[in-house]
Amino acid sequence: MSKRLSGRLVIATHNRGKLWEMQALLKPYGIEAVSAAELGLPEPEETGATFAANAELKARAAADAARLPALADDSGLCIDALGGAPGLLSARWAEIEPGGARDFANAIKKVEAAVAETGAAPPYRAHFISVLALAWPHGACDVFEGKVHGTLVFPPRGTKGFGYDPIFLSDGLTRTFGEMMMDEKQAIPADGSPALSHRARAFQAFSRACL
């Protein structure tokens, strides 16, 4: 069984959007969340072959360096027409140059062009996946997965999210993630039903085990 968390936790990310979402999810539990970027920790190279492997790699690196428990997310957009791409390379599709700054508006244009090149007809099925890994300094690591299915919409809609949110319309909804406020997108239903977003769904599993 996973240990119960309290006190300080490192969020193993340099991505402000992910940090804000994780801090909002953790706030009701009284956890002090500090990012790897704030602590001056480097970003490890993501060499894993799966989302879970990359999440664990990032969590372990942060936990061992900070000597604190660390929570890492590895997530991506997987598009059926592209055989699951960009998938593990979702962030890299947004890089202006290898290892450099990211431009997701340009990445969205790449996605639209790539889907068009396949000749596939809409609706373009896709899913978002998030894997959270909780690592303890030089100790155990647990992983938790969340997934949400939907379709892609072009042109992008909304400016409230980040990443690929403006082109993702979750099944059963009429607004993209980019058209939702963060607290709505990340809300955890009190009745235990699945949350709207992939990261919030992964967090549901994490919170049941660790908070």
Phi, psi of 170, rounded to the nearest 5 degrees: -70, 145
Specify whether 74 is catalytic: yes
Which entry of 64, 73, 74, 103 is annotated as an active-site residue? 74
- Locate 149 and state its tokens: 């299915």
Residue 158 φ/ψ region, left for φ over 0, alpha for ψ in the -120 to 50 degree band, beta for the rest: left
Phi, psi of 3, rounded to the nearest 5 degrees: -70, 160
Distance separating alpha carbons of residues 40 and 36, to the nearest angstrom: 6
Tokens 């596939």 sit at which residue? 120
Tokens 């979402």 sit at which residue? 21
Active site residues: 74
